[in-house]
Structure 1
Amino acid sequence: MPQSTKTAIMIIGGAEDKVHGREILTNFFNRSGATDARIAIIPSASREPAVIGERYREIFNEMGAKGIEILDIRDREHCENPILQNYAENCTGVFMTGGDQLRLCGLLADTLLMNTIRQRAQRGEITLAGTSAGAAVMGHYMIAGGGSGESPNRSLVDITTGLGIIPELLVDQHFHNRNRMARLMSAIAGHADRLGIGIDEDTCAVFEGDGLMQVLGKGTVTVIDPQDMTHTNQHHVGATDPLSICNLKVHILVYGDRYDLRKRMPVHSRSGSF
């Protein structure tokens, strides 16, 4: 995939390469304006926001960003700060780090600052990226936690409200690395009006605003589409009982593959490949 300069919403599965090729971070940097980029780093999900914020600052500084600000929000009142608000209104890229997605939502949801960032991202005015916890918050519904290594069941996943950047998605991250297929299937069984997106580490689902998702990075993006689901016992069994889920559609996408969110199908090129 060529390095695009078009703005996008970038959902990263976590543990993106920060040392060697830095492909995903470089893609974010270029989409944010390259050497004209004014980047806002939001490390609020982290327990060590100053440390993680500085790490990303060094990376984007090495790349040559024009301006970098760490929005070290540790209280909801910080989101009303006119200096931070002004930066959110004028930056070209926003990067949300990993950590705890519940902490991130607790600090940012329904604030003036987050509303500005969400609206600018949805209008294509900025590039917005989130990794790990920063990825989990992208949908209207959010996977707040859960388990792995079991059959799908309702107790395997905790659902709460996310930041609604791309509302129709239900995102899970560190996906195959932490064996989370059953967790995402459990989530989708109870929210069949959403589209499940499971993103591996050092992998990114890129949404350019044209209804297409493109895959970047070393792993896979798993799409779980329940629109043709014919049956689930989700509403009739106990929380720890196994789920039956019939006629789920599952796609495994790799680097360069594309998926049409509106048509709910992978996009093939004329050569027969994606």
Structure 2
Amino acid sequence: MKEVKGKLIALGGGDDDGLIKLIRSEICNISSNIEVIATAGPIASNAVESGQAYKEAFEELGCSSVRYMRIDEEHEADTAQNLERIKKADVIFFTGGDQVRLASFLHGTKLLDLMCRRYAEEEIIISGTSAGAAVMSDRMIYDGYGHYSLIKGEMKTTHGFSFIKNVYIDSHFAERGRFGRLAHAVAHDPEYVGIGLSEETGIIIKEGNQVEVFGPGVVTIIDASQIKFSNTRAVAENEPIAVENLKMHLLVNGYRYCLKEHLFQPIPKEEMLDGKQQTSFADLVSGE
């Protein structure tokens, strides 16, 4: 199986100064082409404001080639100009908002196919926060609240962007009490690994497999690969689910989780010496 060459960088929402600075630290050239996709909000003015705000945030860090792209009811994805811009992009950044809306405008487009191909074959960075993080896998969660998410029919999933497969990424995880819906999702689809991102905390996925943490908080990994019993497919609608032997890991900076191997491990010291792993989230935010 070919190794994925791109990187995914996803934040769980909240203050994203550290995410912007991390992306800047990952690109070698200040003239790298950065494309901000401002789509997820339903109000046109919000999309423009969001796109412009992220453009200015990258420019404040010295990035000289930053543009934002609107894709919505009035701006189709597959224009010649959009395709040409994505062909040249070094970084693609998805803003927050509504991940179902975001997916609906890009799913099945040539533009998304181009992004997926470039992510698999080239050293490109695909990044996003909140909804822009949740949409990265081939499936995503879009419903389910509190204890109701453990009732069959309350938690719902749909297609995502398929940069990575067999993963559910959920944002605002601790802050909005989303453990139940992520656990329900992976119990229903045990070939998937659940990744819950707290706010101001995120992950870098390298080679399509190695999940590493940045930020001050905790990333929750829910692994259903060793489930012994689950009634999620057999139980009737509006009934609670039952699951036996669902595993959970708490991942913080300095540790990684390998998706294919279902393996939790510390990052080796020799890799910690590359400078980037030693840089803390607080240093990134403060600019030290």
TM-score strictly above 0.5: yes
Q: 1:35 aligns with which of 13, 30, 34?
A: 30
C-alpha contact 1:156 1:186 (8 A) present in aligned 2: no
Paired position in structure 1 for 2:120: 122
Measured on the aligned residues, the alpha-carbon RMSD in Å equals: 2.0
CA distance in 2: counterparts of 1:178 and 1:111, whole angstroms: 32
C-alpha contact 2:254 2:267 (8 A) present in aligned 1: no
Q: 1:25 aligns with which of 11, 20, 23?
A: 20
State TM-score, norm by structure 1: 0.90
Query: Shift of residue 270 of structure 1?
Result: 6.5
Correspondence list, 1:181-196, <5 A:
181-196=179-194
C-alpha contact 1:33 1:92 (8 A) present in aligned 2: no
Paired position in structure 2 for 1:134: 132
CA distance in 2: counterparts of 1:269 and 1:173, whole angstroms: 24
- In structure 2, the gaps of 5 or more residues are 273-288
Query: Shift of residue 27 of structure 1?
Result: 1.0
Structure 1 pair 186/54, CA: closer, same or farther in 2 (3 Å)? Answer: same
Paired position in structure 1 for 2:229: 231
Across the two proteins, how many residue pairs are aligned to each other? 263
CA distance in 2: counterparts of 1:68 and 1:109, whole angstroms: 24
Paired position in structure 2 for 1:12: 11
Paired position in structure 2 for 1:165: 163
Three-state SS of the structure 1 residue aligned to 2:153 is helix
Three-state SS of the structure 1 residue aligned to 2:54 is helix
Q: Deviations over 1:221-249 (max 9, x none)?
A: 11111111000111222232221111111
Query: Shift of residue 77 of structure 1?
Result: 6.4
1:152 matched to 2:150: yes
C-alpha contact 2:86 2:111 (8 A) present in aligned 1: yes
CA distance in 1: counterparts of 2:105 and 2:119, whole angstroms: 19
CA distance in 2: counterparts of 1:216 and 1:129, whole angstroms: 13
C-alpha contact 2:191 2:225 (8 A) present in aligned 1: yes
Paired position in structure 1 for 2:55: 57
Three-state SS of the structure 2 residue aligned to 1:145 is coil
Identity within the alignment, %: 30
Three-state SS of the structure 2 residue aligned to 1:205 is strand
State TM-score, norm by structure 2: 0.86
Paired position in structure 1 for 2:259: 261
Query: Shift of residue 262 of structure 1?
Result: 2.0
Residue range with higher mean Cα deviation, 175-184 or 229-238: 229-238
Residue range with higher mean Cα deviation, 155-164 or 69-78: 69-78
C-alpha contact 1:7 1:31 (8 A) present in aligned 2: no
Q: 2:90 aligns with which of 92, 100, 105?
A: 92
C-alpha contact 1:149 1:180 (8 A) present in aligned 2: no
Paired position in structure 1 for 2:99: 101
Correspondence list, 1:194-233, <5 A:
194-209=192-207, 211-233=209-231
- In structure 1, the gaps of 5 or more residues are 1-5
Three-state SS of the structure 1 residue aligned to 2:164 is coil
Runs of 4+ in structure 1 off by over 6 angstroms are none
